[in-house]
């Protein structure tokens, strides 16, 4: 949440299929998933493809444009990827069966618990660097706000490409997830410029 501006949101995934992962949400996560073909077959991936051709990567520039108090950065510095390394909180893999049981697991997380250690790459060719941690500030609790008013908008990676076009030349072949479509030299919301390389 940021004062006076829209919230900053990230979607992270461990892998496309949750098969075999159980309900432990606190595992290795990343804002980019390299299982592109599996992603395209996944029902969620088909939905994402309605908004972007780069369905397995998310942008981060908006996250870094505004501070928590709503101050806008003149020239935001943002990463290529964010990787979340699990902290010391884990859920048992075979529970819960119901939403109430899942909420009960969250209610057991103590205040000041280390949830994740954050690592990021400044660009596609950069090394992962430690950038921070995610800790609980209080005990978790359910709310009507979360059920009825909370809205997430995930940022398209194409918006980051528009600000950092040099990244397109740095992406390895196995990281080129975007459906190239017709050849293009521009990055737009609907098309990645893979053919422009």
pLDDT in tens, 65-74: 999 899 999 9
CA distance 179 to 49: 10
* pLDDT tens digits, 171-190: 865 555 454 443 333 444 33
- The answer for residues whose C-beta is within 8 angstroms of residue 101's C-beta and 6 or more apart is 95
Q: Which of 30-34, 138-142, 185-189 has the lowest mean pLDDT?
A: 185-189
Say what the pTM is: 0.74
Distance CA 139, CA 90 (A): 15
* Backbone phi, psi, residue 45, to 5°: -65, -35
Q: Are 117 and 27 in contact (CB under 8 A)?
A: no
144-165: pLDDT as tens digits: 877 777 777 778 888 999 999 9
Pairing, β 129-135 against β 81-86: unpaired
pLDDT of residue 80: 92
**What average pLDDT is seen over the chain?**
75
């Amino acid at each position: 949440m940021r004062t006076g501006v829209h919230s900053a949101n990230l979607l992270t995934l461990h892998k496309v299929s949750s098969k075999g992962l159980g309900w432990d949400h606190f595992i290795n996560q990343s804002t980019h998933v390299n299982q592109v073909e599996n992603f395209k077959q996944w029902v969620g991936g088909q939905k994402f493809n309605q908004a972007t051709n780069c369905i397995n990567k998310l942008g981060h520039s908006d996250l870094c444009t505004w501070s928590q108090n709503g101050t806008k950065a003149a020239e935001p510095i943002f990463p290529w990827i964010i990787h979340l390394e699990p902290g010391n909180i884990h859920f048992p893999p075979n529970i819960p069966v119901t939403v109430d049981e899942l909420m009960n697991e969250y209610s057991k997380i103590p205040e000041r618990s280390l949830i994740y250690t954050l690592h990021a790459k400044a660009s596609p060719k950069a090394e992962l660097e430690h950038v921070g941690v995610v800790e609980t500030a209080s005990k978790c609790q359910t709310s009507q706000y979360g059920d009825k008013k909370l809205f997430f908008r995930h940022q398209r990676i194409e918006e980051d490409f528009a600000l950092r076009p040099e990244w397109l030349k740095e992406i390895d072949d196995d990281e080129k997830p975007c459906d190239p479509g017709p050849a293009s030299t521009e990055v737009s919301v609907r098309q990645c410029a893979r053919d422009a390389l």
